[in-house]
Amino acid sequence: MPDSPISSGSIAFLGFGEAAHAFLDGWRTNSDFKARICAYDIKTDSPDSEVRTAKRADYAAAKVLGASTAAEAVTGAEAVFSVVTADQAHEAAIAALPGLAKGALFFDCDSCAPQTKLRTSQDVEAAGGRYVDVAVMAPVHPRLHRTPLLISGPHVEAAAPALASLGMSATIHDGPVGAASSVKMIRSVMMKGLEALVCECVLAGRKAGVIDAVLVSLDDTYPGFDWKKRSAYMLERVMTHGVRRAAEMREVALTVDLLGLKGEMSRASVGWEQAIGELGLLANGAEAADYRVLADRILAALDPPAREG
């Protein structure tokens, strides 16, 4: 497949959640963007008919072609963006391979351990695709397609101009497949680990009735961090994306383990991410900016009052 701009070609998404929407919304701010977009999301296979219907409606609202399988989605695509949860990344790639075009760029944007990325790359390359290790280095909002990316692997010289044609902000990180993801995974030890610590601190402090004093003290120790504002942001992120973050932190722990260290802090972070994410709570508007409101909602869901009788 020739190295040509893909902004007017065919692009496939594996996974159609927040990241896919953000990239697509950003691409479409360019009037020259004419690419055909096809997507497949595992939610279309859900046993819950409401989940299936909602995802199909999601495709329609975004004006993309919804595929019935991963292989169907990538058929004829010059570029494939895998944006699924870490625990589904390798399986999603394997499912797509029967439809993958020879020479297609396979952008693995999933938050996986370098070893997981290497395993996926070997399968993609054996099928004739060109695998690119992509690390998404910041939340996709508000920067959308301009969210900073690191890319590594043997095809970065072809991948960089392809991403540039979409207006994306990619930096080549020298090294083999897994090099870019190592940066992301080890960064997440701190970023997602801090989220988990904030969850435990704020929930315990709120339940004890001392959280305001705790956060004032932290602001005194770390001036300029604005613990109240950041606590609200982190609680909301875990409420909305905790399950996905938990999957990422399992990969982070694996990364640390395979370096000959013990990923105990990362593994412990999984607990709060998973538990809060599974509550299915959403925060909108003013309440998303108030850590006390968010903490009270989480605490109520974690420990609902006993029913009478």
Task: Please tell me the distance from the alpha carbon of residue 74 to that of residue 96, in angstroms, as a whole number.
Answer: 7
Domains 10-177 and 186-302 share a fold: no
Predicted model pTM: 0.91
Task: Please tell me the distance from the alpha carbon of residue 200 to that of residue 209, in angstroms, as a whole number.
Answer: 14
Task: Say if domain 10-177 classifies as CATH 3.40.50.720.
Answer: yes
CATH code of the domain made up of 186-302: 1.10.1040.10
The domains of the chain are located at 10-177, 186-302
Residue pLDDT, tens place only, 52-99: 999 999 999 999 999 999 999 999 999 999 999 999 999 999 999 999
Phi, psi for residue 173 in degrees, rounded to 5 = -110, 110
Residue pLDDT, tens place only, 214-258: 999 999 999 999 999 999 999 999 999 999 999 999 999 999 999
Average pLDDT over residues 117-123: 98
